[in-house]
Amino acid sequence: MRGHTPDLTLTLADAPKGVKPIEWRLLTNRSAETLEAAVELIEWYRARWEIELLFLVLKEACRVEALQLGTVERLQRAFVLFLVVGWRIARLMRLGRTVPDLDASLLLEPEEWQAAYILAKKPVPKQSPRPQYSAFQIKLLIIMTSS
């Protein structure tokens, strides 16, 4: 049928007893006739979300759209630097959601996470924090993009 958009419905199979299973619906122009094809579509969607998150960080935290560097070469160099910074921030955000008990010292140098606390005018803890704290991430964004 012309104009029909197939959908792929995913349902959480191991929902606890008495809890309604979570259900996701992906609208796509691709068909998924097999489990492998469905998994591939889900991976495409996941990858697209990661890219969207990276561009959000580049636009909102790094403010790359506001760069006025005068030449294409300067803009390219700045963008390469901001891609690295943006990738680190997006990775920190993702890990903060998926592995909330992960020690920040596995991802950041002590000076980086300590500077975030100093900038926030908060006492610096003796041990490194967990990356799930969004205020910590925001201060880290400021540090990484203001130098």
Q: What is the pLDDT of residues 80-118, one digit of tens each?
A: 888 888 888 788 777 777 777 777 777 778 887 787 778
Residue 2 within any structural domain of the chain: no
Instruction: Confirm whether pTM is higher than 0.75.
Output: no
How many domains in the chain?
1
61-87 b/e (C-beta count within 10 Å ≥ 16 → b): bbebeeeeeeeeeeeeeeeeebeebbe
Residue 14 within any structural domain of the chain: yes
Residue 77 within any structural domain of the chain: yes
Domain extent, residue 123, equals: 7-146
Residue 37 within any structural domain of the chain: yes
Residue 135 within any structural domain of the chain: yes
Residue 99 within any structural domain of the chain: yes
Q: What is the pLDDT of residues 18-61, one digit of tens each?
A: 888 777 777 778 777 888 888 888 888 888 888 888 888 888 77
Residue 1 within any structural domain of the chain: no
